[in-house]
Copies of this chain bind each other. A is one copy, B any other.
Amino acid sequence: VAAPPPAALPLGFAPPRAPEAAPSAEPGDWPLGRPLAQLLDTYILAEAPDGALILVDQHAAHERLTHEALRAQLVEGGVRAQPLLLPAVVELPQADCARLLGFAEALARLGLELEGFGPGAVLVRALPALLGPADPAPLLRDLAEELAESDEALALERRLDAAVARLACHGSVRAGRRLNGAEMAALLRQMEATPRAATCSHGRPTFLRLGVAELEKLFGRR
């Protein structure tokens, strides 16, 4: 029982949030530069306009893009949901089912529509459209864990934000996926148009810069 694939941008990359944040058409203005190659199907190597070598962690970067796009939709009134053609049944420990259903209304604002399905299962009617054709089972397990971990006293807003970070992780291109030149360029341009794109949802860097002077120093050229 799979969701129909939504109309997809390359890899399901989120579009830039707002027209005014659209990337410049001039390559010379692209701080993250032009893609050169992919390393280990995990890192993108790019050459910045000033000659610096840029290394991008593709999963961390895409996680941040998905996170910001989900957050923007949430702020604008709710994450767009993609109804499943056939609802999916996900079996879970009884406590997790109860916990998820207790948050059903909040989760619906995240584009995740759930119903009870007996004591040890949940029926999934819709998933956040941004995630593309995601597998609902690991996603629900992860969300149940997140909601269990959250301090009971934590405001719903904070819990939702933590849940958004978990969703973003599921909706992001994995390390180990081969990208072509256009996909790499799309990721770089969207990073430039996205706030907080220098770190992933967990606070790790999404890209590193090795400047020309630094390179020359490493090679003893100066």
Q: Which residues of A contact B (CB under 8 A)?
A: 36-40, 43, 45, 47, 51, 53, 55, 57, 60, 203-205, 208, 212, 215, 218-221
Contact = CB atoms under 8 A, between A and B. Distances in A.
Nearest to A220: B204
A129 to B, nearest CB: 29
A128 to B, nearest CB: 26
Contacts of A215: 43, 55
Copies of this protein chain in the complex: 2
Contacts of A43: 53, 215
B36 A40 contact: no
What 4 A-B pairs are tightest by C-beta distance, nearest first? A36-B37, A204-B220, A37-B37, A57-B219
A40 B48 CA distance: 10
A47 B36 contact: no
Contact of A36 (B36, B60, B205): B36
A47 B53 contact: no
Nearest to A210: B55
A203 B221 CA distance: 11
A47 B39 contact: yes
A40 B45 CA distance: 13
Nearest to A221: B204
15 contacts: A36-B37, A36-B38, A36-B39, A37-B37, A37-B45, A39-B47, A43-B53, A43-B215, A45-B45, A53-B55, A57-B219, A57-B221, A203-B220, A205-B218, A208-B219
Nearest to A203: B220
B205 A40 contact: no
A152 B44 CA distance: 54
Contacts of A55: 53, 215, 218
A220 B206 CA distance: 10
A41 B120 CA distance: 60
B212 A40 contact: yes
Contacts of A39: 36, 45, 47, 51, 53
A212 B203 CA distance: 20
A39 B47 CA distance: 7
